[in-house]
Structure 1
Amino acid sequence: MTNTSAPAAPHRRGVINRLRTFPVTWMVVGTVLVFLTSAVSTAIGAESGPSGMALMALTGMAAGSAFYVLTMRVIARRRIPELARRAAPREALAGLGIGAAFVMASYGIVLVAGGYSIDWAPRDVGKTLMLAIAVNASAAVIEELTFRGLLFQGIERLGGPKHGRWIALTVTATLFGALHIMNPGATLWTSFAIAVEAGVLLGAAFLWRRSLWFVIGIHFAWNVIEGLLGIPVSGHRNPGLFITTVHGSGVLTGGTFGLEASLVPVIVSIAIAVPMLTATARQRSTVSDDRMTS
């Protein structure tokens, strides 16, 4: 009498492994875990003072990062070159520089055009800096782990080697803008603007450098500088070191939603993203040529 059940076990394990490492699986699991820990930490921090809020923001960031690593290694069964430690200082500093340049260029244009006036805000400088750095670092890390880490890379794999990166760029940029429709004072325009100036720019940055440290640096510099200048960050106003007063058309200034709703950073972000996308296309072309001649 023959045993027909033995071959079924390896087959079932193979099916389970394929389902586990399928991009949709680790995209969904990772997104839920990363965002859930951040949401819980934020909710707890909201009931605390500035020090408690900063502490919970950093706690959520650490927990979300741990869940990202576990998702990629245990479920997706893949390495994590996008978080390579050796490249972290270089990529993060480069991202910080580009993010700061982007915000200051956009803010400066609106300021020179008469859309903003700025005054020093007499606040507790140490506490203001602590809260701004902690909260914005947490937001930058959690959002980039989710959008450029999990969603972008998962969609890219699903789309295939030829078109996957462009599909991922389009989908994640659109989703990033759409989710910001829930922010205070948001409109269809603000969502579109964020999809371009944040979704496309950060997606292009990730395509170019393939480093989450790089895009986290851009994202963090953008948010923290904007907040310290006294401008609402995507509709959310937090204490800053300065008070920026808005004058004139919302098309120029962004109105009560903040700089992201201005046409200026949309144009500036495109000017930055296009060279990144061009460099990405050249890198791909060089790789293809090398493979053909090898």
Structure 2
Amino acid sequence: MTIKAVDVARILFFYLIIGSIVLFSPLGPVPSYLLIIVLSLTFMLVSGIELRRGNPIVGIVTAAVAMAAVFLIILAAGGFSIDGLRPGFANALLWGAVLQLFVATGEELSFRHYLFADLDRLAGRKTAAIISSMGFAAMHLPSLYFLHAGMIEAGIALATIFIASIVMTMLFIKAGLLAAIGYHFTWNFLQYHVFSFSHMDAALEITKTGSDLVNGGTFGPEASVPGLIVVAATLAAVWYYYSWKERRAEHNEDSNQSS
């Protein structure tokens, strides 16, 4: 399929708008992501991309298991100690749920349901997954810079985020938008607002100890070796699960035809 200049310009223009909102919007996080949601839906409408809602359960469960594994591995490796619950943690959890719902919805609508879907029609599924995931990882470069992540930790974080984006793309393809949103929301909510792996208000009070390669340093577990390993294992597990489902469906279809 020949990719037209107007298609490339549309995608680059969208990415530029999204990046500008994330980096420079004075509106605050929730209004900014609400704007991203509206823009994503508008570009989808113009491009003729139909909304694929899907089911969030598989994404929620996958992310919960993965983040719990990261938490336990880093804890066992001495990457942090738990000091107890923070005062007013219920408010932190409530605000975190609202914030991450807007973040997950905005980023999945933009990167999965518009950018990936549009690129999929223009360049094919594998190319679309790689390019959109590279863009998704690149969006985190300013955070890595402002949080003063080291070069090694930044490299690990970009690799982890890229692989996580592939996971969410696969969930979007196989189970719809809500599966990708469920994964994104649960991963962020647990990471930032339950396990306190960042500068945001969270339920647990923790003290980071040991190497940044173990606990991710200022950026959190996405910049850690355990985080990278768990996300890579998650990708393998999700791929195997859906491959198994497809083989099982083909087997059942063959059995029905032969009976």
TM-score when normalising by structure 2: 0.79
Contact 1:169 1:200 in 2 (8 A): no
Residue 196 of structure 2: which of 226, 230, 244 is its match?
230
Task: Name 1:43's counterpart in structure 2.
Answer: 26
Could you report, residue by residue, the CA deviation over 1:69-122 in whole angstroms, capped at 9, with x for unpaired residues?
22212x1123222xx2xx3xxx22221221111111011011012221112243
Could you report, residue by residue, the CA deviation over 1:114-163 in whole angstroms, capped at 9, with x for unpaired residues?
2211122432233212221122222222222222222222222222xxxx
> Is 1:178 equivalent to 2:138 in the alignment?
yes
Contact 1:116 1:246 in 2 (8 A): yes
Task: Name 1:261's counterpart in structure 2.
Answer: 223
Could you report, residue by residue, the CA deviation over 1:171-218 in whole angstroms, capped at 9, with x for unpaired residues?
233333233221112344344333433322332332244222111111
1:43 match: secondary structure: coil
Could you report, residue by residue, the CA deviation over 1:235-256 in whole angstroms, capped at 9, with x for unpaired residues?
xx11111122111111111122
Q: Which whole-Å CA distance do the structure 2 matches of 1:178 and 1:191 have between them? A: 11
Contact 1:193 1:261 in 2 (8 A): yes
Change (3 A) 1:23 1:208: farther
1:255 match: secondary structure: coil
Q: Which has the higher contact order (CA 8 A, sep 6+)?
A: 2
- Segment of structure 1 superposing worse, 129-138 or 273-282: 273-282
Change (3 A) 1:124 1:108: same
Choose 1 or 2 for highest CA Rg: 1
Task: Give the counterpart letter for 1:70 in structure 2.
Answer: T
Contact 1:26 1:76 in 2 (8 A): no
In the TM superposition, 1:42-61 aligns within 5 A as: 43-45=26-28, 57-61=29-33
**Structure 2 segments unaligned to the other structure (5+ residues):** 254-259
* Paired-residue identity, %: 22
Q: For this pair of structures, how many residues does the alignment match?
A: 245
Could you report, residue by residue, the CA deviation over 1:25-64 in whole angstroms, capped at 9, with x for unpaired residues?
5434544555666667x6333xxxxxxxxxxx44444443
CA RMSD of aligned residues (A): 3.2
Q: Which whole-Å CA distance do the structure 1 matches of 2:16 and 2:159 have between them? A: 25
Change (3 A) 1:273 1:122: closer
Change (3 A) 1:278 1:158: farther
2:218 match: secondary structure: helix
**Structure 1 segments unaligned to the other structure (5+ residues):** 1-17, 46-56
Measure how far apart 1:284 and its partner are. Answer: 8.3
Residue 110 of structure 1: which of 65, 74, 77 is its match?
74
> Is 1:203 equivalent to 2:166 in the alignment?
yes
Task: Name 1:142's counterpart in structure 2.
Answer: 106
Change (3 A) 1:270 1:104: same
Measure how far apart 1:262 and its partner are. Answer: 0.8
Task: Name 2:38's counterpart in structure 1.
Answer: 66
In the TM superposition, 1:254-293 aligns within 5 A as: 254-278=216-240
